[in-house]
Amino acid sequence: MGRLIVVSNRVALPSGTKSPGGLAVGVYDALRDSGGIWLGWNGETAADADADQALSTVTQDNITYATFPLAARDYDRYYRGFSNAVLWPVFHYRADLSRYRRADYDGYLQVNRAFVRRLAPLLRPDDVIWVHDYHLLALGGFCREQGIRNRIGFFLHIPFPTAEVFKAIPPHHALAQAMCAYDVVGFQTASDARAFSDYCVQHLGAEREASGVHVADRRVRIGTYPIGIDVDGVAAMARAKRSRQVAALKSGLEHRKLVISVDRLDYSKGLLERFAAFEQLLESAPAHRGRVSFVQLAPPSRSDVQGYREIRRELDRAAGRINGKWGELGWAPLRYINRAYERATLMPLLRAAQVGLVTPLRDGMNLVAKEYIAAQPPDDPGVLVLSQFAGAACEMEEGALIVNPYDTEGMADSLDRALHMPLAERIARYERLMQGLRLHDLAAWKDRFLADLRSSAKPGVTTKLPTLPA
């Protein structure tokens, strides 16, 4: 069996100090047992003349991390530009925030080509390549153009929009063609997979098949692979000795109940709507005043992008208004914190909360929802309030309180219900959710995707393949 080669925009080096995101945790655990290579950007920028330097490699725990910097120009066009000013907003159904420039798209293609140039010398004929997320939609097409005939799979961690929304991206046709160069294309939910399949049928002339589509003399498997978590690992981390930060939080709460949210600072997460719902709770249910605190952890994300600076200012104003209106000398209703915490600190924080409030406007999966449940004490678990627009809602609707994040009063009502929920109901909901978490854990995600990829037909040298613009 060939090695596993993972390619992602960013590589989380083992010596890093930042708390890794869901993609990094998932990729690391996928490689941890089998070993292999993880290729991607090291998070640093370099002068244009220095960016083509040789790969830097380090091997630890059977994983070789192969990383490189991006040229400053490529960072602006590929990362800040097309990836995060076009693909991210459109894929999250915010085409109104998209800012398309041809130069950014050219930069996106150039960097995808550069990834392939660095990948090709590392490959052996039987290696299996697993490409991750929206930054690298075009990589499969360039691999085929370079004559790479290994099995290549692609997994999208964020939502895939309906065909009509996807068409808001001017080069949508070329991008979809490039995605069809992969052997397996995986999504978080069935609706995401259906949206991509529908686009291929409607706009690429593909024929729908039981396992995917037949397009340009290629059979592309399209599947749903909901990413999970290491349930026992999260639970153990949550039970660990409390950190100084957790002790300080518990001390400050006294006997108040805690509602907690953990998100990157991003307009897709619905933070403003969440603040409004908490304020509505204080307005409509006076009994909670002085008896519940809401902690929102929102570490900065892409702070060099204008839209993210604006959302931070809006949240600062909203938090100040809520605390100014409802706060008392001994009680601040809302604690809004713009910093990242290590997972070893976050999991005990989640365990300490009576309510986990996870209400994105749109999300591919949202692993915080799953981590919140896994972190709970089985004999006195908290309640998950979850947006219907998070991918996790497909799996957690029988145990979580599902809400519409655009319905302020409805969210406030669900918060009130969660804070008053009897112990027996909380335990029953927790046990149903834990069954689902174990059924669709991180190992199941990895094993199902890689089994489908390894069983796919190996591309032949005569296969007709879609091409991208030069």
CA–CA distance, 285 with 436 (Å, rounded to integer): 33
Give me the DSSP letters along 34-50.
H-EEEEEEEEEEE-GGG
CA–CA distance, 14 with 157 (Å, rounded to integer): 22
Paired tokens of 284: 């409509």
Question: Alpha-carbon torsion 289, 389, 184, 469, what sign?
Answer: negative
Active-site residue, from 92, 132, 135, 157: 157
Beta-carbon count within 10 A of 427 CB: 15
3-state SS assignment for residue 230: coil
Beta strands in 169-321 (DSSP E): 184-187, 207-209, 212-215, 218-224, 257-262, 292-297
Give me the DSSP letters along 331-365.
B-SEEEE-----HHHHHHHHHH-SEEEE--SSBS-
Beta carbons of 104 and 324 less than 8 angstroms apart: no
DSSP secondary structure code for residue 219 in this structure: E
DSSP H or E segment with residue 254: none
Q: In Å, what is the CA distance from 212 to each residue of 207, 215, 311? A: 9, 10, 39
Question: For residue 297, which amino acid is it?
Answer: L
Contacts of 78 (CB under 8 A, 6+ apart): 70, 104, 107, 108, 110, 111, 135
Catalytic-residue membership of 157: yes
Catalytic-residue membership of 104: no
CA–CA distance, 335 with 259 (Å, rounded to integer): 10
Active-site residue, from 363, 413, 441, 452: 363
Catalytic positions: 157, 363
